[in-house]
Each structure stands twice: as C-alpha cells, then as structure tokens.
Amino acid sequence: MSSKSTTAMSRPSLAARFKLGTVRAGFAFGSRLAPQRTVNRAARLFATPFASSRTRAQAVQGDHEMQRGQLQINGETIATYVWGDPVLQPYALLVHGWSSFGLRFLPWVAKLRALGYAVVTFDQPGHGYSSGKLCTLPEFTDTVHAIGQYYGEAALAIGHSLGGAAVALAQDEAWHARKLILVAPAADMAAAVGRFFRFVRLAGYLREAFYLWLLRRTGVSVEQLQVHHHLPALGAPGLIVHDLDDDDVPWGEGERYAQFWPGARLFTTQGLGHRRVLDAPEVIEAALAFVRGEEVGTRVVGSPNLSLCV
C-alpha cells in the first residue's frame, strides 16, 4: 500500500531531505527515550494522507456530464462523482489509492461510458474533497462497501493501490461487484508497515505497539488485512495489473492476488511504476478488453505455500 514508507521522489530538494532527516532522527531518538509517544506519533503519520491529495483534487475540474455529490458515511462527508445513472445502467465503481483522489480516474471515464457503464468514483476520508484527517485500510474498505451498498451491485469495480486492496476486502454477500480489476494492488499491511518502519527509521521492537494502535483505532488486526486470506472466497472474475518496476508496492504482491484468487489473471507491465500504470493507454485498453470478455494476461499457477513474504 502506498504509504509514506514507499513514496519516492526523484532528486529531492535540500529542504525535503532535511525534513526527512529530521523526522528520521526524531523517531530514532524517540524509539529509545519515549517509545509509546513515538509509536503514537508514527502511527498518526502513517494514517495521515498527504496534503497533495486535496490540492491535486482541487486542480481537476471534471467534465460537463459529471455530477458532484456527497454521502454521509461513518461520520464523514464523502465527495462523490457520478456519470450517467447507476440506478438504470450497470455501473463501474472506481476506487483511488493512498493520498490520491477520485478524479484521478478521469482517463477511464469516457471509455467506460462508451461501453454503456455509468461511472461512480469518490474521495476517501481525508482525501480530496472529503472530510476527515486520518484514514487506514479498514476505513478505505468500509467506505467502498458503503458506497457500493448505496448504489447497489456494481457491474465492475476498479481499484488502484490501497484502493485495490479495499475493493477486494469489501466484497461480501451484502455488496459485491460482478467483475474486478485491481491495478498495483497492495496485498499485505504487515509488509507495508515494515516498509514504513524502514523509511522513517523506527525501531523494529515497536512494531507490536504500532499494530496495537491500528487495532484500537479500527477494530481490525493487521493479520486480518493480509488479503490472501480473503482471495480464495472471491467468486468474481478478476484481472490484476502490476508493473515490474513498482517501487511502492512490489510486483510480487500483485502476483499473490493472481495466485490465491481462483480464475484471476495477471497482466504485467514494465517501466510504468506505481502511478503511471493507472492511466497508461495500454493498461486501460487491456482492462477494457477484459471487461469485454477477452482473454487478458496470464494465469498464475504455483503453490501458495511458496510465495508468502511477510
């Protein structure tokens, strides 16, 4: 999942490097001198979306057909964006990733509309135009599920990064999508926490206290958020798209989806990384081919016991 632990900037400015150095030094000292206070601070940082989610959302206007709206979900005001009529037309639900925003999917909209779909997307809590300050994977998942229940069964759900994990975890008897496309999906919260710890130089012995903070906030354990536990029960056809050069969420996490999800297929790209893969023309065209029922990507065959990295 695209957390602060995995955010990469090319040639960071001196100010950015100085700030990161200060954060790392603070966590290194705090781990020894005030461990609980340091864990609380680190966990809040982990759960705080970048401010750029809001500024980038404000810079995108949408188009004349788009209808802006709001839904109240779990005490937050969630900004929604709708094209067409999800009640009268089969609809596609598009779910953005960490520190992103719903209109990040604009390159997909016209093509989905041309296939006859209404389109629904939204800003997660703490992102874009939605209210809130903190957000974690369980809150991502709850919001996807609530949006889905509001509009009814989706013909298609597409999720990117943390949004891909949330789409998979949100599927149940109360709401589901008939087809799923997950682009660079995160598979393992424990692995994401490990990347975050290494990035901010947080002492490894604080991991259990960090997990406890997340459990107290969400009521969901990190182990429950390892998506491979849920994939064997998914009955919907699925396409996983992942780039070999993804530095935020390793390609192996996408492969894990395809391995544990009966009937799912893996479409691998190279040179697109974690963000450009979402709106690359070849990815959108492959996804639309999958929607039309064409064979895309490959089946992953192997022993589940050999590929888990925690």
Question: Tens digits of per-residue pLDDT, 170-191?
Answer: 999 999 999 999 999 999 999 9
Q: Is the pLDDT of residue 114 over 50?
A: yes
Query: Within 10 A of 105 (CB to CB), how many other CB atoms are there?
Result: 22
Predicted pLDDT at 31:
72
Interatomic CA distance for residues 207 and 190, integer angstroms: 9
Mean pLDDT of the residues in the chain: 90
- pLDDT beyond 80 at 192: yes
Q: What is the pLDDT of residue 302?
A: 60
Could you tell me the two tokens for 202? 């947080």
304 contacts: CB under 8 Å, gap ≥ 6: 228, 259, 260
**For residues 212-235, average pLDDT:** 93
Percent of the chain with pLDDT over 70: 90
Checking if the pLDDT of 309 tops 50, the result is: no
Q: With beta carbons less than 8 A apart as the criterion, state whether 206 and 39 touch.
A: yes
Q: Which CATH number fits domain 53-188+224-300: 3.10.129.10, 3.40.50.1820, 1.10.3470.10, 3.30.470.20?
A: 3.40.50.1820
Residues of the chain above pLDDT 90, percent = 79
Q: Positive or negative, the Cα torsion across 58, 62, 64, 67?
A: negative
217 has pLDDT over 50: yes
Instruction: Output the pLDDT for position 27.
Output: 77
Task: For 240-281, write each residue's pLDDT tens digit.
Answer: 999 999 999 999 999 999 999 998 999 999 999 999 999 999
The pLDDT score that the predictor gives to residue 147 is 98
Angle between helices 207-218 and 35-46 (to 10 degrees): 60
pLDDT of res. 307: 42
- How does residue 141 score in pLDDT terms, banded at 50, 70 and 90? very high
Phi/psi of residue 266, nearest 5 degrees = -115, 125
- Chain mean position to CA 243: 15
What local confidence, expressed as pLDDT, does residue 7 receive?
37
What the block records as the tokens of 210 is 């960090």
Output the pLDDT for position 21. Answer: 75
pLDDT of residue 32: 78
Residue that the structure tokens 């989706």 belong to: 154
Residue 24: pLDDT over 90: no
Which amino acid is located at 272 in the chain? Answer: L
Angle at CA 234, nearest 5°, toward 152 and 231?
Answer: 130
What pLDDT sits at residue 243? Answer: 97
The whole-angstrom distance between residue 278's C-alpha and the CA centroid of its chain comes to: 12
Residue with tokens 């002492």: 203
- Taking only the tens place, the pLDDT of each residue in 29-59 is 777 778 788 899 999 999 999 999 999 999 9
Tell the residue number behind the tokens 């057909």, with chain if given. Answer: 65
Mean pLDDT, residues 113-124 taken together: 98
Residue 5 CB-density burial (10 A; 0-12 exposed, 13-18 middle, 19+ buried) = buried
